[in-house]
Structure 1
Amino acid sequence: MFWLSFWSLSLLCAIARFYIRFYKISQVSKDENTEKFDLQAKKLQGEYLVAYLLAAAADWLQGPYVYALYEQYGFSKAQIGFLFVAGFGSSGLFGTFVGSSADRFGRKRLCLVYGLLYSISCVTKHFPFFAVLLIGRLLGGISTSILFSSFESWLVSEHNKRQLPGWSLNEIFAKAQFGNGLMAILAGQVANILASTFGKVAPFDASIALLLVMSLFIYVKWDENYGDNRKDSSSVAFHCALRSLFEEYRILLLGIFQSCFESVMYIFVFMWTPALQLIASRDVPHGLVFSCFMVALMLGSCLFTILEGKIQVVGLLRICFIITAILFLVTTSVSILWMIFQCFVLFEIICGIFFPSIAVLRARTIPNEYRSTLMNLFRVPLNFIVVVVLLADWPVFTTFKVCVFLIGVAIVAQHMYTWRNEGLHVQDTGDV
């Protein structure tokens, strides 16, 4: 079942990429007369994707062996759980201030800080001391906040500065998500080889090497860009961003449905293994299942590229939320392995559509002045929800019922966003 799913998803992904390469992209170029922008768009695409995918690969390399390394050092399940919660808490607590620093001091600088802090976090993995590993988790949480805000903020600001057409930004977001899935598969295989050959800390050393290459590339290739309030102190910029969040309801509603959906995704990351194992009559091949999920994520990014010109982004997100709610309702109602697994695969396809879609919507909705700050503010409730769910330690399918509730909130917030946005025209990137 798992191998059949993997090869079926891979075939569908290949067909989708073939369609995009030989039909979809050529049609967009011909219809919008974008030849004069092609060179500039491809230059920006290369500058961003190389740096972002190196950063993502460095992050993925660490994932498979964090828990195993902590176990090898002799820490209890409770201690390991505390370390994981500390990472989410750090991201939520310090991320907002990191975001305001990016808007004030420069997004390029903060991406270089990402390379430095995450490298230090990897170095701490060599020391089997709880306090040292806790510091590493705190630095890792801050680094994650930078990865999910400053890179995208730099891209959107640079895209607007170069006055490129909206379709090119959509294309970059889709390719970034496709590449992210590909990096996850490759990083997982490389991490397995390194860990089995040199020990469980080796993937973290490889991550440091990638972070160094990424930092050098960014330093040489990227220009710096800022928010518009560079003279403000970080605290003033943060308070201005917070005020704009509650004064502009479209931004607030965007933050609500993004946080709800992404919290469901992070909860799923922790829960899919025990969910499958609970109903399986034999050991689940976790590596193969993970590969299926990542190919499904890549397929979702391809579907976004195919659909985004035919369905408005907010409409695409509405479909994603409704299907997600149905999938988790099915998951809580049946106990058949293949049905639950297919629900999980479909959810990963939805995630592949969601991430470029929400990135496009953020680019259209969030002002450049506080882009990094607001993106990190969106992650505060996300991290809070994930920490609460992890600490609550509910049964697996009770947790999935909580996911259904969160998606329900996302659907309501997305409907209100669409209603408030009717009749508005968003500059530079077209109608929402």
Structure 2
Amino acid sequence: MGFVIERVEWELGSQTFLWIFCSCLASIFLLPYFSKKAGLSFSSNGKGPHSSLVEFGSSAFFSFQRSFLFVYILASVIGGLQTVFGEDEYQLFGFSRKQMVLCLCAGVSATVFFGSFLGVLSDMVGPKNTCMIYCVLHLFVGAMRSTSERPSVWISSLSLSLASFIFQFSFETWMTSEHEKQGHRREFLLDTFWLMVFFESASLIGGQGLANLLVTDIERGLFFPSAPAALLSVICALYIRKNWHAHKLFSLREYRYSFSTTILKDKRIWLLGCAQGCLHFAVSVFWMLWAPTVVADGRDVNLSLIYPCFLGSRMLGSTAFPWVSGPGSFIPLEDYLSLSFVAAGLSLTMAAYDYQEIGVLVALFCGFHACCGLILPSLARLRTALVPNELRAGMISFSLAPANASILFILIQGGYHRNLSNAAILAMAAFGLFTAAGCVHVLKRWKRRTPGNWHEL
């Protein structure tokens, strides 16, 4: 007698997305109520102790903030449209698993050997020009994919890797420099930091939805979303060129002297850079391994519904930033940042060393992204306190260089040679997050010793 075993595809319930959506709204719109209840008053001229999303600040600041976020959202959607398909792009051209890994290695190698100097280039020629380069790279890839029947996957991988690396520092650097140049209060930066994380995540979700609407047959229309991405790149570049201002340029000699005396000789910035690099490594490892971990043992899962759940969790984590960073916060910046790193590390540790049901794994990964949503604006706040704006891009790019080298090592040893298991790689990412927590804790101790050397926000 034969048996038929039915395989049921696991899916997230619709109530999960509803809960994340309602939680984000509640976190945003209840903040002013509880702030007032706690006795925190905000002046109408924007000179209170801390800004909030609903504070009545100057019209010039809100105009500047809306203009920047418009471009930042456009740039996020462009990146999402170009990378939403992932491995499907390689499979369409018949790439084997090893060829896929080699293509990824080529992209990461570009960020290791060239990306480290892109931050220096951004500081020297101005972040506005580097943001233009980001748009040009996406325009090139979008045009190539839209017009060629057999576009070069290798060139696309190299270009998109460099563009993704530029995105991590160029827009933030321009925003902080222009914010200071226009004379806005430094406290107002806090809102912009968490709104950047919030809208970037929302834009990636929107990019996935737009790509799914544009592609009905993957074998015929895989690269059709690249045409809208190229169009948006043109719009973004034209807007930047017309409305954004260029900043002071440095000579190589001036920049080298400033960087060596301000960045390389400050141990606090080394610790901050280590924390940034560890987070970048952990997030990159997660995006490489989350799908294989969830579908382990041949489990059927609708991955396209889990992806926006992660990004929604990051949005929710970012909305917690104004709650814990305000003047009435009961926990210092370094304390909640260390706890966030530890919580994120524990989430990856449990996923690495203990077999979990799919629901438990998804919950752990959502918790990891919620922690990342809180960590990202907090690190931006620390960068503003420690790093001069004119050296910000170079500092970020150099801090990410060791992380990118580690990612390249993981791809070669774990992806190509299979010498490292997925569990071991996740454990390495978790260890990096614990290391970042230790770096932030040491920063707190040094802050107590030299309080006058910090630019408080």
8 Å contact kept, 1:181–1:298: yes
More divergent stretch after superposition (364-373 vs 283-292): 364-373
Match of 1:232 in 2: 251
Match of 2:360 in 1: 339
1:348 positional shift: 0.7
Match of 1:220 in 2: 242
1:133 and 2:153 equivalent?
A: yes
How does 1:50-199 map onto structure 2 within 5 Å? 50-125=70-145, 127=148, 132-196=152-216, 199=221
Structure 1 segments, 4+ long, off by >4 Å, are: 21-28, 33-37, 126-130, 425-429
Match of 2:227 in 1: 205
Distance 1:42 1:25 in 2: 22
Distance 2:241 2:126 in 1: 13
Change (3 A) 1:36 1:13: closer
8 Å contact kept, 1:182–1:295: yes
8 Å contact kept, 1:100–1:238: no
Match for 2:422: what amino acid? V
8 Å contact kept, 2:263–2:387: no
8 Å contact kept, 2:119–2:395: yes
Distance 1:104 1:23 in 2: 44
8 Å contact kept, 1:124–1:133: no
Match of 1:402 in 2: 428
Residue ranges of structure 1 left out of the alignment (5+ in a row): none
1:386 positional shift: 1.4
Distance 1:347 1:207 in 2: 29
More helix by share: 1
1:236 positional shift: 6.4
1:51 positional shift: 0.8
Match of 2:310 in 1: 293
How does 1:377-416 map onto structure 2 within 5 Å? 377-393=398-414, 394-416=420-442
8 Å contact kept, 1:60–1:188: yes
RMSD: 2.5
Alignment deviations for residues 133-178 of structure 1 (CA, whole Å, 9 cap, x no partner): 3223222222222211111111111111222223310101111111
Distance 1:19 1:44 in 2: 25
Distance 1:313 1:196 in 2: 47
1:22 positional shift: 5.5
Distance 1:212 1:25 in 2: 44
1:302 positional shift: 0.5
1:302 and 2:315 equivalent?
A: no
8 Å contact kept, 1:364–1:426: no
8 Å contact kept, 2:81–2:229: yes
Scaled by the length of structure 2, what TM-score is found? 0.86
More divergent stretch after superposition (340-349 vs 9-18): 9-18
Residue ranges of structure 2 left out of the alignment (5+ in a row): 1-10, 415-419
Match of 1:365 in 2: 386
Match of 2:3 in 1: none
8 Å contact kept, 1:177–1:356: yes
Corresponding residue to 2:284 among 248, 255, 266: 266
1:247 and 2:265 equivalent?
A: yes
Change (3 A) 1:32 1:192: same
Distance 1:36 1:20 in 2: 15
Tell me how many residue pairs correspond in the alignment.
Answer: 425
Scaled by the length of structure 1, what TM-score is found? 0.91
1:370 positional shift: 1.7
More divergent stretch after superposition (363-372 vs 1-10): 1-10
1:13 and 2:34 equivalent?
A: no
Corresponding residue to 2:69 among 31, 49, 63: 49
Distance 2:235 2:244 in 1: 14
1:60 positional shift: 0.9
Match of 2:456 in 1: 430
Change (3 A) 1:65 1:414: same
Match of 1:278 in 2: 296
8 Å contact kept, 2:335–2:441: no
1:349 positional shift: 0.4
Match of 2:332 in 1: 312
